[in-house]
Each structure stands twice: as structure tokens, then as C-alpha cells.
Structure 1
């Protein structure tokens, strides 16, 4: 959304959402998470949610950092514009490289692999050979046969870092295109 409020803000339905939850560990650069809801709903969650009952409060320094980040990002367009530009660049370069980029309106850039063994092997190879950590997304997170890699560009990724990523993916795809069953061998080499 225009102020970083997510899909509900972008679609103009914030008033129809009963509970908003999110992480403070990604765009806000700290740790922890939050919920925003009516007082009654928050009290019920505090009282009955087993995952919450045994947690502890965030340290005051973490809360101060989160609050500062939230206040800044609500007003600033710079980071959001830069993120959108980085995402567009990654998607464009992946498309130019003929990688199977899945259409997605968010900042997440999924690349279809279609097999859990291949997906794990490709991401392992990216880490061991290229020192690139890429999250494999396998069943049950996605349906079987739709396994994918999930790329999350950030506003601070440089052109050189993006070019390195695209080069690594092009090398892997040239060596063993998806569907040829060669990723396992490649990862073991």
C-alpha cells in the first residue's frame, strides 16, 4: 500500500480486516512481530493463544527501533520506490534470461522449479557454489508439482549483486534445465 500497510491497504479494505499481524524482522529491521485488533480480540489472544502465553515482551531497545522504523517508513517513499525498482529489475533480468518467473504482484519473485528434490538441489548449489542463500518453497507450503525458489529483493541490493545472482541462475539453468532430472547430480559435484 501507499504507506506500507500491505495488500489490505493497497486494495482499500483495511476497515474490513479484524486482525492485522506482521513481522518486525524484515522491512523494519528488528525482531519480533505484532498484532493489531480490538482490545477484546487482543485480550483473547493474550489469554488463550498457546504460542503467545509462553513468550516474553520485546526488549525496550527493540521496541524503540521498531517504532522509529515504523514512523519513518509510514512517511518515506524512498525505500518503497527503491524496492519496487529493484523488484522490477530482478523480474526483468530473470525474464530476459528466460527463467520461469511466476507472475506475482508483490515484492516476492518466485521462480518455478516444479520438483522438491530439484528445488532443494538448486538452492543448495546456489549456497555452496555461489554463496547465495535462496529459500526453497516446497510442499506443504505450495501444492506438489509447484515447488519454487523465492527471491526477495531489497532496496539495498546493488546492480552488481543482482547481476551476480542472474549469472549464477543462468549458469545453473544452462547446465541442467528444469525437468531434465540433473539437479541432484549438479548439486553433488
Structure 2
């Protein structure tokens, strides 16, 4: 018995006295239980027992083609990238045990930021521990109470959470709708702080934003612009800088957010900017100040990968070939896709419903193919998607094999 507490005087808790804080999840719990009761393997608990390459792994004891990893440029097994991580691990140990502003900035962090500045041709770069934290930190710090954030309704969760953390007024508009965005901007009070947040590539359907038109409108209304290029860095644009580069509007973007967990092939996030006051963010951005920094081995692999991405035009071209081939082949076989033409390395295959989507996912896994099963509320318009993310290391022959797997599974489940 704890001192000073008379246990007999304490009220006895009875069932029903207090609400179960997990009750809000009951519909999802039932949906998952019903899905598993039908005999389908849990699509969200798959374990890769061994990863053989950027495009192959051992899943459930069998060799499986990976088509759902976001490993767009296939840098995870690049010999130079792996070696730099090993050397940093030997030289600096396994972790920093501190935040960037105290004891957590090592030589590798600065080298990684230098690589980012060179890659994007920008004056400032700030590395975060994840891409999620980059959005969370930058948006919540620059847009606070009394400011307005105008954002696409299909924005990533990290963008929405950044808005909420900063307590700014959130003004969403219909996905990729230029007129709707301008109407929202016109309604914002004169003199208020305004931030427009866009994404280069939207991760669910793989479609791109009309950045050129949207950024022009944002600037006309006196708004700053942040573009998340997480799913376009490395392969879109002449130098792989993303959709803003491809559409010729890099100089009009105030902040570019990105991640290391896609094309760079490791983990972490970043923001690059030319704003002259940007460095103050290191002292006022809470998700940066109060988080342990990335391990030395991680920033070393990131820096090496980023520098190699600067000279990867051939890999970018091959990735686009893969994307066009997969998109065309799936469309010809009767599948409904998220975009009319390939716009990125993401090819989304729309399923009739969650049950058949899960069955199709399992059928593909049995064939030896791993893709992502994406479901509401993460998906737009309550869609269930099988989301394919291609890699520059996929061979043309692997794409042929993938198309055969989709055709057999699609016919077996009744999707086509």
C-alpha cells in the first residue's frame, strides 16, 4: 500500500463508470475483424523476412517482387551509399543522443544540409528526423494563430497536423482546383498572414499539381508558398528537383519540403529555402528543437545518395519507361487507374470495394508481388486502391512479370 493513501477510502471503479477511450475505434476494429474472419491475411502486418534488393524480398518464405516501397531511385543498396553508412557508424557510433540545438549536430548533419543546398540550388537547408516532422515543424512554426493556411483537401496527414499544431486558420480547397484555391484566397482578410501549401505529386493517385498556375495566383494574393516534393524528388524535373523545377517555378517557391524515405533511400526529412531569415527556424521550430537528431550513419547515407541523385539522368529516364509501361499494360488489361496517363512513379489501381481490394492484394501476394492496399479515410473519395510505386531498378522484364500477375489475380478475383 502506498504511504498517505487509504485504499479503503477510494471509490471502487465499476464497469461503465467512465467511457472507454478506445470506443471511437470500434467501427475500424470490427471492419478489420470481419476482413480477417474471411480468411484474408492482414495487409497491414506483412513482414519482410529478408530484403534482397530494392525490388525483391522474402515475404512469407517466398521471393517477392516489391512494388510498394517508394524506393523510386533504388538507392537503398547502392554500394557507395551503404559504405558511407558503415564508415560513419564506425567513426561516430550508433546515435547522437541529443537534439540538433544541443549535442545532436555532427559533421554529417552539416554535410547532408550542404548536399541539399547544392541539389536544390538554395541558400538554406534544415534536416529533420522524419519527413512528417519537417511538415509538422515548418508549417506550425511559420503559420500560427491569426494566420491562414490554404491547402489542397487531399494534402498529406503531416500537412494537416502541422496546421493544427500551429493553430492557424485552415482553409482547404477542392483537389487541384485552381479556381477554388483563388476563391479561398480572396476571402482571407486584408493584411493577414497567408501560406499556400501544395504537393508536387499526391501520393494516393500519383497525380501532379498545376503548380505554375497555383503559385502565380498565390503570389498575386501576397501568400507565401510551401511545396512538398516528397514523391517527386529524384526523378521529376531536369535535375530531379521535383515538379516545381519541371514547371519552371522553383524561384517562386518559398519553402520546399522533402523526405529521405523515398528516392534518397533512408529516413529523415528536410526543408530548403532562400528566405533570408530562415536560419532562425533552428531556434523556434519545436519539432526540430525537441527531437533527437538522426544517427550519423543515416545522414551519411543520405548525403551520399543526394549527391549521386544529381547525376542520375539515365535512372530517371528508365523509371519513366517503367511507369509508362506499367500504366499502359494495366489499362489495356481492363483495370481502372487513378490517372488517365502516367504522371509519376505511382500507379494507383482502383478497386470496387475494400473486401475485393483486400482479396486482390492477397492474390497478388500469392503470385509473388507486394503492393500497398490503401483504404479510406487515407484515400480520396472513399476509394480503395492498390498503390504501385515503381523503382528505377525494376527491369523491363520484371514489369512484364508484374503485368502477368495482375492479369491472373484480377481474373481470379473478378476485378477484370
Higher relative contact order (CA 8 A, sep 6+): 2
The one of 332, 351, 361 equivalent to 1:113 is 351
Separation in structure 1 between the aligned mates of residue 282 and residue 370 of structure 2, nearest angstrom: 35
For 1:183, the equivalent position in structure 2 comes to none
CA distance 1:143–1:28, change in 2 (3 Å): closer
Separation in structure 1 between the aligned mates of residue 334 and residue 322 of structure 2, nearest angstrom: 18
CA distance 1:39–1:31, change in 2 (3 Å): farther
Q: Report 1:1-12 matches (<5 A).
A: 1-12=237-248
For 2:315, the equivalent position in structure 1 comes to 79
Q: TM-score, normalised by structure 1?
A: 0.80
The structure where helix makes up a greater share of residues is 1
**RMSD value, Cα:** 2.4
Q: Does 1:34 align with 2:270?
A: yes
SS at match of 1:75: coil
For 2:231, the equivalent position in structure 1 comes to none
Whether the 8 Å contact between 1:36 and 1:42 is mirrored in structure 2 is: no
Separation in structure 1 between the aligned mates of residue 349 and residue 239 of structure 2, nearest angstrom: 28
Whether the 8 Å contact between 1:138 and 1:144 is mirrored in structure 2 is: no
Whether the 8 Å contact between 2:356 and 2:413 is mirrored in structure 1 is: no
Separation in structure 1 between the aligned mates of residue 259 and residue 406 of structure 2, nearest angstrom: 29
Q: Does 1:59 align with 2:295?
A: yes
Q: Report 1:15-26 matches (<5 A).
A: 15-26=251-262
For 2:385, the equivalent position in structure 1 comes to 148
Shift of 1:30: 2.1
Shift of 1:42: 5.8
Whether the 8 Å contact between 2:376 and 2:384 is mirrored in structure 1 is: yes
Structure 1 residue runs of 4 or more that deviate by more than 6 Å after TM superposition: none
Q: Report 1:126-145 matches (<5 A).
A: 126-127=364-365, 129-145=366-382
Whether the 8 Å contact between 1:115 and 1:145 is mirrored in structure 2 is: no
**Count of matched residue pairs:** 177
Whether the 8 Å contact between 2:360 and 2:410 is mirrored in structure 1 is: no
Separation in structure 2 between the aligned mates of residue 47 and residue 10 of structure 1, nearest angstrom: 32
SS at match of 2:380: coil
Separation in structure 2 between the aligned mates of residue 123 and residue 55 of structure 1, nearest angstrom: 36
Report the more deviating stretch, 90-99 or 38-47. 38-47
Please list every run of 5 or more consecutive structure 2 residues that lacks an aligned counterpart in the other structure: 1-236
Shift of 1:25: 2.0
Please list every run of 5 or more consecutive structure 1 residues that lacks an aligned counterpart in the other structure: 180-189
For 1:166, the equivalent position in structure 2 comes to 403
CA deviations on 1:4-51 (whole Å, 9 max, x unpaired) are: 11111111112222221111122122221212234745644763444x
For 1:176, the equivalent position in structure 2 comes to 413
CA deviations on 1:73-101 (whole Å, 9 max, x unpaired) are: 12331111111111111112212322222
Shift of 1:156: 0.8
CA deviations on 1:110-134 (whole Å, 9 max, x unpaired) are: 111142232233223322x123221
SS at match of 1:111: strand
Separation in structure 1 between the aligned mates of residue 279 and residue 355 of structure 2, nearest angstrom: 41
CA deviations on 1:143-176 (whole Å, 9 max, x unpaired) are: 3443211111111112332222212211122123
Whether the 8 Å contact between 2:255 and 2:271 is mirrored in structure 1 is: yes
Shift of 1:2: 0.9
Separation in structure 1 between the aligned mates of residue 363 and residue 290 of structure 2, nearest angstrom: 38
The structure where strand makes up a greater share of residues is 2
